[in-house]
């Protein structure tokens, strides 16, 4: 479904130029999840030079406090800061100087937009208190759970975030009611046997067949769930070292589990671990497992999404309703468990490069749309 209004913006041009320059500086010096120290310094320096707001350091992240002029329920906005282990690969005047690391998801733009919001709120103070949360480690699901605790601590009643999204018209607002991004996790199963000389395989315990059997089971696992998206994606498997004189003694299987319901995802995990244990028992192997990159479901609250859409329409922005959820996971779901809020998306362009690919770079043209919409939400009573 598409709704269209005449487009206009309220963002000051001098603010836009500053945050574009900031975005390029962040892009030039990307940092991976949990390594965002330089990024934090850059953002804090910018905020201190351009606003008067109090900054509070936490362990690996920080927030800015924008005092309200009249009181009322506090509102929060979140931006993520981390980059990806992907080479830059394209010629940019502000290309990454960190080999093999680049902002191919657009978090440099998210952080720059939140700084733009800070400058707008300095120019036109809000009636209620606003918290600007600069979060680390979204790419691995490691930052949202920690930062979301601030909502409970400060009794914040609303929270918002945006993501850039290719495939929709530039600057348009894209949304989905209810579930907008699924739960996911990375599951690694390791099977330990006993290596031996390749000429005497009977003296060892080789896990290769069990790893292969577990892989075949994983390929059929998601088919049993009806009524919603469920995926078990094989992302890696290994047995032995590849040395022709040594029979394999250890093996592993790595899968990404993804589902609309966290309960379904955890049920897939349970079944995989039960099958691994059964194979291990039958073949004399020792199993172990680990879970990483855990993301909850991201479920929008209707009343918060209604506020986003009302502000978008007042700004004259096109809005598009997604019929299908975005399969990529997002740890903003932790925030939405704490209070009313919404994750919305801004179109990069219909033919714009996809996120997490080498040709991608954040589209600076959508920065004023992000700041305008955030500011409208901050001032809305």
Q: What is the token pair recorded at 95? A: 């290309």
For residue range 260-280, list pLDDT tens digits in order: 999 999 999 999 999 999 999
DSSP for 317-349, written as a single string: --EEE-SS---S--TTHHHHTTSEEEEEEEEEE
**pLDDT over 60 (residue 8):** no
Give me the pLDDT at residue 70, please.
93
pLDDT, tens digit, 9 for 90 and up, residues 159-200 = 999 999 999 999 999 999 999 999 999 999 999 999 999 999
User: If DSSP codes are grouped into helix, strand and coil, which group holds residue 299?
Assistant: strand
CATH of domain 2-180+297-379: 3.40.630.10
Range 309-325 average pLDDT: 97
What pLDDT sits at residue 226? 86
Residue 343: which of 355, 331, 361 has the closest Cα? 331
Q: pLDDT of 121-156, one tens digit each?
A: 999 999 999 999 999 999 999 999 999 999 999 999
Which residues, 6 or more positions from 130, have their beta carbon under 8 angstroms from its beta carbon?
65, 66, 68, 74, 75, 76, 77, 121, 378
- Same CATH topology for 2-180+297-379 and 183-294: the answer is no
Q: How distant, in Å, are the alpha carbons of 55, 113, 134, 248 from that of 126?
A: 17, 17, 19, 64
Percent of the chain clearing pLDDT 90 (strictly above): 94
Please report which confidence band the pLDDT of residue 5 belongs to, taking 50, 70 and 90 as the band edges. very low
The domain limits of the chain are: 2-180+297-379, 183-294
Please give the pLDDT value at position 3.
Answer: 42
Query: What are the residue ranges of helices labelled H in the chain?
Result: 13-28, 37-50, 107-123, 144-153, 208-221, 262-283, 302-314, 333-336, 367-379
Q: What is the mean pLDDT of residues 330-350?
A: 98
Q: Which residues of 173-189 are buried (b: 16+ CB within 10 A; e: fewer)?
A: bbbbeebbbbbbbbbeb
Section 359-379 average pLDDT? 97
CATH topology of domain 183-294: Alpha-Beta Plaits (3.30.70)
């Amino acid at each position: 479904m598409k709704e269209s209004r005449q487009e206009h913006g309220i963002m000051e041009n001098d603010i836009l130029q500053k945050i574009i320059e900031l975005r390029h500086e962040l892009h030039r010096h990307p940092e991976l999840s949990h390594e965002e120290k330089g990024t934090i310094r850059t953002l804090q320096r910018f905020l201190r030079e351009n606003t008067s707001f109090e900054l509070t350091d936490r362990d690996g992240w920080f927030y800015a406090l924008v005092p309200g002029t009249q009181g009322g329920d506090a509102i929060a906005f979140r931006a993520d800061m981390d980059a990806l282990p992907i080479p830059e690969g394209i010629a940019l005047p502000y290309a990454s100087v960190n080999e093999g690391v680049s902002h191919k998801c657009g978090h440099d733009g998210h952080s720059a937009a939140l700084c733009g919001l800070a400058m707008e709120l300095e120019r036109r103070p809000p009636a209620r208190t606003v918290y600007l949360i600069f979060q680390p480690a979204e790419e691995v699901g490691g930052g949202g759970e920690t930062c979301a605790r601030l909502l409970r601590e400060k009794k914040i009643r609303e929270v918002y975030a945006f993501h850039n999204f290719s495939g929709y018209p530039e600057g348009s607002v894209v949304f989905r009611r209810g579930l907008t991004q699924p739960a996911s996790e990375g599951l690694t199963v390791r099977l330990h046997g006993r290596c031996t000389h390749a000429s005497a395989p009977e003296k060892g315990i080789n896990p290769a067949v069990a790893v292969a059997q577990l892989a075949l089971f994983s390929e059929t696992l998601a088919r049993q769930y009806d009524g919603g998206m469920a995926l078990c994606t094989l992302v890696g498997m290994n047995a032995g070292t590849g040395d022709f004189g040594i029979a394999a003694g250890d093996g592993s299987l790595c899968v990404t589990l993804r589902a609309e319901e966290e309960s379904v995802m955890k049920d897939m995990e349970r079944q995989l671990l039960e099958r691994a244990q059964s194979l291990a028992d039958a073949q004399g192997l020792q199993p172990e497992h680990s879970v990483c990159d855990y993301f909850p479901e991201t479920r929008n609250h209707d009343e918060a999404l209604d506020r986003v859409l009302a502000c978008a329409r007042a700004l004259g922005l096109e809005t598009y309703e997604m019929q299908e959820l975005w399969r990529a996971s997002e740890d903003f779901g932790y925030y939405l468990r704490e209070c009313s809020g919404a994750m919305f998306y801004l179109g990069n362009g219909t033919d714009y490069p996809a996120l997490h690919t080498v040709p991608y770079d954040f589209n600076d043209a959508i920065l004023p749309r992000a700041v305008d919409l955030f500011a409208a939400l901050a001032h809305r009573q």
